[in-house]
Amino acid sequence: MKFTHLMIDLETMGTAANAPVVAIGAVYFDPDTGTLGETFDAAIDVEDAVRYGRVSGSTIKWWLGQGDAARQKIVRGRHPSQLVFEKFYEFCLKHGDGVKPWGNGASFDITILDYAFGRILDKPAPWKFWNVRDCRTIKELADGIVKFTGTLEGVAHTALDDAKHQAEWVSVYWQGLRKPSAAPAAVITASPSDDFDF
């Protein structure tokens, strides 16, 4: 099966675009059916990761406040950043160059990856900017219309577990919002006399 949608979740040592990436989790999925495809799960050596970004003190405090299982996941990495990013770049193109990457926040996962691909591999991210998708937007659109009752399987704040969970609820919202409505959608048009001066 060919997938175009790719859910991505990062574990980082900061929240800005230049945050060091210590883990990447990703799963291909089909939002029309909820089917999950191939996965990517890699942890980067923390010492190597910080060479390519700026650590945030508040993020370190946040990680120290998480459970043992989550903290262990961010220090498990043994691979250098360049190797992990090369493998992830290839994974993103597994189904062609039309991949639609999803991140949980318009300015987090994908923005950090855009910066990191340039900094670590000296090349742009393997997707077209117009294909980027945002989980938070679809969640807000579905609020009060579609209900998701699933629970996270695995460890919270673990990249792959979070990515799978996000793919599941995005698929539920996607399907619910795309169901044919009983009533035809209203069409709103602006007449030439409408005043749109700003």
Per residue of the chain (198 residues), give pLDDT as tens.
Answer: 899 999 999 999 999 999 999 999 999 999 999 999 999 999 999 999 999 999 999 998 998 888 888 788 778 889 999 999 999 999 999 999 999 999 998 899 999 999 999 999 999 999 999 999 999 999 999 999 999 998 888 787 789 999 999 999 999 999 999 986 644 554 445 445 455 444
How high is the pLDDT of residue 181?
Answer: 60
Whole-number Å distance between alpha carbons of 175 and 142: 10
| CA distance linking residue 12 with residue 172, whole number of Å | 27
pLDDT at residue 198 in the model: 42
d(CA 188, CA 174): 23
DSSP the chain: ----EEEEEEEES-SSTTPPEEEEEEEEEETTTTEEEEEEEEEB-HHHHGGGS---HHHHHHHHTS-HHHHHHHS---B-HHHHHHHHHHHHTTT-TT-EEEESSTTSHHHHHHHHIIIIISS--SS-GGG-EEHHHHHHHHTTT--------S-TT-HHHHHHHHHHHHHHHHHHHHSPPSSPPP-----TT-----
Q: Is the dihedral of CA 117, 56, 159, 136 positive or negative?
A: negative
Res 74: pLDDT = 76
Cα separation, 108 vs 96, in Å, equals: 24
Which pLDDT belongs to residue 27?
Answer: 98
